[in-house]
């Protein structure tokens, strides 16, 4: 019996558009639209750009190692996306791709992606002549994903995000991943804030998804889901209850490093998120993900975003 593809596979999938030119792709399925949202989630652009770029390198040997990208223009929640891939560089060990995502003829997203050849038998990319280390997984106090209620993320959002505000909740029906927040570590200093938890695809990815490509695209999707949240949650007083004092929120740049090409997104991953800086209307958030079984660091992410608060009312 054929395996049913996981929902995340349809979300990150792209399809060739040869009528538009060489190495041009569009979203393979209707966009995964968040209920009530007018703008598309950045996670769609990040993951589908990875899928488009990955389609231009040998799938059996080359896997994405980094994505450095900028969100350039608001993207409508409905409408076709066009991904134009430029084969910027091809080498024996490494390759580089530039992806320009367009909607309605407008450039909305720009990404530079690096790939490494993991199947070429080159001893310089593995073995005893390279540095090998990784940040250890945080101490979770013995807790696992089964200790967290499957509706905990929805409950956390409902308690933090006001209805009708400028921040839109991601409902369980809108998410293609299973998020299990373990808890928040609050402090007076926002840079000491920590959010920890677990995430995975609730359904196994099909064999047709390839050995790594769809998994890495799905990790890219996860890297941008609710990624600005730490900056808001770490600043409860200025953002106000339910983040009702937030006037504008927009992602600016998004940088991902993929450390383990074979890491599966359909196994539990441990995540930790924080924010390290905020000034001049900009904030910087960071996150790390570890494979729960092996404890190995599989992804590191940083994101810059614009957050503006409502002006303080003048005292009479």
The per-residue pLDDT string of the chain (316 residues; one tens digit each, 9 = 90 and over) reads 344 557 899 999 999 999 999 999 999 998 866 555 567 889 999 999 999 999 999 988 999 999 999 999 999 888 899 999 999 999 999 999 999 999 999 999 999 999 999 875 444 455 678 899 999 999 999 999 999 998 888 888 766 665 555 555 555 555 689 999 998 999 999 999 999 999 999 999 976 555 578 999 999 999 999 899 999 999 999 998 888 999 999 999 999 999 999 999 999 999 999 999 999 999 999 999 999 999 999 999 999 999 999 987 755 5
What's the confidence (pLDDT) of residue 176?
A: 86
- Give the SS3 label for residue 34: coil
In whole angstroms, what is the distance from residue 34 CA to residue 77 CA? 8
What's the confidence (pLDDT) of residue 123?
A: 40
What's the confidence (pLDDT) of residue 210?
A: 56
In whole angstroms, what is the distance from residue 277 CA to residue 184 CA? 18
CATH 3.60.150.10 for the 7-118+141-309 domain, yes or no: no
Name residues whose C-beta falls within 8 Å of residue 104's C-beta, 6 or more positions apart in sequence: 76, 79
Helix (H) or strand (E) holding 152: helix 152-160
- Give the SS3 label for residue 173: helix
- Residues 298/262, Cβ–Cβ less than 8 Å: no
- Give the SS3 label for residue 270: strand
Residue 145 token pair: 């994903």
Sign of CA dihedral 144, 148, 150, 156: negative
What's the confidence (pLDDT) of residue 122?
A: 44
For residue 247, count other CB atoms closer than 10 A to its CB: 11
Q: Phi, psi (5° rounding) for residue 208? A: -65, -15
């Amino acid at each position: 019996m054929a395996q049913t593809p996981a929902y995340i596979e349809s979300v990150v999938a792209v399809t060739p558009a040869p009528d538009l030119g060489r190495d041009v792709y569009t979203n393979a399925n209707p966009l995964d639209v968040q209920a009530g949202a007018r703008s598309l989630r950045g996670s769609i652009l990040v993951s589908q750009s990875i899928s488009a770029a990955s389609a231009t390198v040998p799938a059996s040997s080359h896997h994405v190692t980094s994505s450095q990208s900028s969100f350039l223009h608001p993207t409508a929640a409905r409408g076709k996306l066009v991904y134009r891939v430029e084969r910027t560089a091809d080498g024996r060990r490494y390759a580089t791709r530039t992806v320009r995502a367009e909607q309605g003829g407008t450039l909305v997203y720009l990404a530079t992606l690096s790939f490494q050849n993991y199947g070429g038998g080159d001893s310089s990319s593995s073995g005893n002549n390279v540095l090998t280390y990784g940040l250890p997984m945080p101490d979770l106090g013995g807790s696992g994903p089964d200790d967290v209620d499957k509706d905990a993320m929805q409950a956390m959002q409902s308690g933090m995000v006001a209805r009708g505000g400028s921040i839109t909740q991601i409902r369980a029906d809108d998410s293609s991943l299973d998020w299990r927040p373990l808890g928040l570590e609050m402090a007076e200093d926002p840079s000491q804030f920590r959010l920890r938890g677990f995430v995975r695809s609730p359904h196994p990815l099909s064999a047709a998804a390839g050995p790594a490509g769809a998994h890495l695209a799905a990790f890219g999707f996860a890297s941008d889901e609710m990624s600005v949240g730490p900056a808001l949650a770490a600043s409860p007083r200025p953002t106000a209850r339910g983040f009702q004092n937030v006037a504008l929120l927009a992602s600016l740049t998004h940088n991902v490093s993929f450390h383990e090409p074979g890491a599966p997104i359909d196994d539990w991953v441990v995540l930790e998120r924080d924010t390290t800086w905020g000034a001049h209307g900009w904030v910087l958030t960071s996150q790390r993900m570890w494979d729960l079984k092996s404890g190995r660091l599989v992804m590191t992410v940083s994101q810059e975003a614009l957050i503006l608060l409502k002006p303080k009312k003048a005292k009479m």
